[in-house]
Amino acid sequence: MKGFKPSAPFLLLLPAMIVLAAVVVVPLLLSLYSSFTPFRLTRPETFFVVIGIRNYLSILSNTDFWWAFGRTVLLLTIALNLEMLLGLGLAMLVEKATRGQRILRTLMMFPMMFSPILVGFQFKFMFNDNIGLVNNALQSLGITQDAIPWLIESHLAFIAISIAEIWSSTAIFAILILAGLLAMPKEPIEAARVDGCTPWQTFRYVTWPFVMPFAYIAMTIRSLDVARAYDIVKIMTDGGPAGRTELLWTLVARTAYSDGRMGMANAMAYVSILLSIAFTVYFFNKLAAARTQIGAEW
Amino acid sequence: MDENSSARLKRRLVGVVYRIGLFLAMLTICLPGLWIVLSSLRPTVEIMAKPPVWIPQEISFDAYVAMFSGIGKGGIPVIEYFRNSLIISVTSTVIAVAIGMAGGYAFARYRFRGKSSVFLGLMLTRTVPGIALSLPLFFLYVRLGIIDTHFGLILAYVALNVPFTIWLIDGFFRQVPKDLAEAAQIDGCTRWQAFWQVEFPLAGPGIASAAIFAFLTCWNEFALASQLTRSVSAKTLPVGLLDYTAEFTIDWRGMCALAVVMIIPALTLTFIVQKHLVGGLTSGAVKG
């Protein structure tokens, strides 16, 4: 190839590197440093006092933090698993449709267009105990007489948040899994049927292995923005009632901006960053594994 | 004979169950959005009514009129927020796509050492939760004096979008056969010409959808915007939405109307790109 320079990819990637270094990497190093200080917004001089890992030690014994941590992991586990299952179900429903598949596909993408903050607001509206659609419907149908305090009682609030989160993100799974189903060759399924597989066996041993990498792409994309739950929670309950729906991210925001304890908040933020990275790396590896499996089989 | 008819019955039953399932699924997906639209058109009295009014008695566009008639009447400066959102989203999208094109081309067309780890590294920068990133950015921006400015938010959004645009555009360039550009080069094009005259037009629709995706990310972003902007001069629509929540009361109708205003551009743009989006995500990732 004429005009090929060994440094071409480097030059092409340089702008991306510069921007990311300036806006992500350097600020993160700064926040790493400040997580070792007792920095408070109201007292700038504390920025230069290094107290070592005392912030991290106090996080270790901070029960609020660990509750938020556990709740975040729980929410992600519930949400991601249900999104995957529902997305798979939805994709198979739509794939089966003989007519109007285009319209169905478009409808299916509908929740993706809502920004998380709108999702939060819309479900806050629907789950409102007094005027919300959910309670109104339940009361009109005579299922319950009382107004159910969806966003006020802590367990119900958690459920409401999970529903909002699942509603907004199932579409990503459904779309990518549907892409996988549509790209799949039909012969192996027919062969399996001829060989006497039950529908379940056909699904389990033929369809699923093929669709899996697509599901992992969806997982990877989702893990890139798991923190969008922050917007939803911020709007729906703002961590309430009494901190019972506090997630890592809302806790970080509260510590930093309401309490002004930047050093502590940065230490917490690092834990949440590590959590996100762990999710991404895990799914990225799964993706790579699924990809090689596909390469071997098809 | 009996077996036949029972099999037919069973099949019909399965068909009915399938239709109902599909209908319920689509209803769940669409209902929240439709409810918002409906609520934005109803008078507040009807939204608040107890027992609930299910069938709207009167429909009006009052909420929209109030919203766009300035601060005094609508309560919040929607037009300014809209303008801020538009300026910030468009500028950062253009920059992010330019950078993403260079990066995506590098991943799609060159082999270099540590390629997959560079790719993973780029993706990892995207995993940093917005709120965690906002802490150091807030501090830096205050120091640099670019807090509460368009520039500050644009810069942050470019960085937010670059990894994902690279992923998408990489996928689109992979779909363009390498031979085409090589043939053009044999015919006397420089690599630069071959790129602009052969590869770019072919990957064009894909790049456009990457751009729209980036635009939507900016348009919808809240965590960073809520901390890095404070005043009317830089607040974006998602942050402006919060203006409708007072301490104890929420103007539901106004909020619904603003939600509709926010969702319409997003809706239109997503419809345009949906086909390419899925293609870009999967081809980049599956074919390695």
Q: Give the pLDDT confidence of A123-151 residue by residue, as tens digits.
A: 888 888 878 888 888 888 877 777 778 88
Residues with Cβ within 8 Å of A22's Cβ and at least 6 positions away in sequence, in order, are B155, B159
Nearest to A117 by CA among B212, B239, B148: B239
Interface contacts (A, B; CB < 8 Å): 252
Q: Give the pLDDT confidence of A146-179 residue by residue, as tens digits.
A: 777 888 888 888 899 999 999 988 888 888 888 8
**Per-residue pLDDT averaged across B117-125, rounded?**
84
Q: Are A137 and A194 in contact (CB under 8 A)?
A: no
The span from the CA of B40 to the CA of B47, in Å, is: 9
* A15 contacts on B by Cβ (under 8 Å): 98-99, 102-103
* A171 contacts on B by Cβ (under 8 Å): 29
- CB contact B163 to A (< 8 Å): yes
* A274 contacts on B by Cβ (under 8 Å): none
Verify whether the Cβ–Cβ distance B238 to A117 is below 8 Å. yes
Identify the burial level of B53 via C-beta atoms within 10 angstroms of its C-beta, where 0-12 means exposed, 13-18 middle and 19 or more buried: middle
- CB contact B140 to A (< 8 Å): yes
* A31 contacts on B by Cβ (under 8 Å): 132, 135-136
Q: Give the pLDDT confidence of A66-92 residue by residue, as tens digits.
A: 998 899 889 888 988 899 999 999 998
Domains of chain A: 63-297 (1.10.3720.10)
- CB contact B123 to A (< 8 Å): yes
Task: Just give the CATH number of B66-286.
Answer: 1.10.3720.10
**Per-residue pLDDT averaged across A119-124, rounded?**
88
Residues in B 10-29 with any Cβ partner in A closer than 8 A: 18, 21-22, 25-26, 28-29
- CB contact B267 to A (< 8 Å): yes
Q: What is the pLDDT of residue B288?
A: 39
Q: Out of B26, B137, B223, whose CB is closest to A27?
A: B137
Q: In angstroms, what separates the C-alpha of B153 from chain A's closest C-alpha?
A: 11
Q: Whole-number mean pLDDT of chain A?
A: 83
- CB contact B34 to A (< 8 Å): no
pTM of this prediction exceeds 0.80: yes
Q: What is the pLDDT of residue A297?
A: 43
* B100 contacts on A by Cβ (under 8 Å): 16
- CB contact B256 to A (< 8 Å): yes
Task: Please report the DSSP string for B178-218 in residue order.
Answer: HHHHHHHHHTT--HHHHIIIIIHHHHHHHHHHHHHHHHHHH
* Helices A208-224 + A63-96 axis angle, to 10: 140
Q: What is the pLDDT of residue B162?
A: 92
* A100 contacts on B by Cβ (under 8 Å): none
* B26 contacts on A by Cβ (under 8 Å): 104, 107-108
Verify whether the Cβ–Cβ distance A136 to B278 is below 8 Å. no
SS3 A35: coil
Q: Chain A: residue nearest B50 by CA?
A: A131
Verify whether the Cβ–Cβ distance B190 to A8 is below 8 Å. no
**Per-residue pLDDT averaged across A264-269, rounded?**
88
Nearest to B37 by CA among A193, A209, A114, A112: A114
The span from the CA of B251 to the CA of B254, in Å, is: 6
Q: pLDDT band at A1, cuts 50/70/90?
A: very low
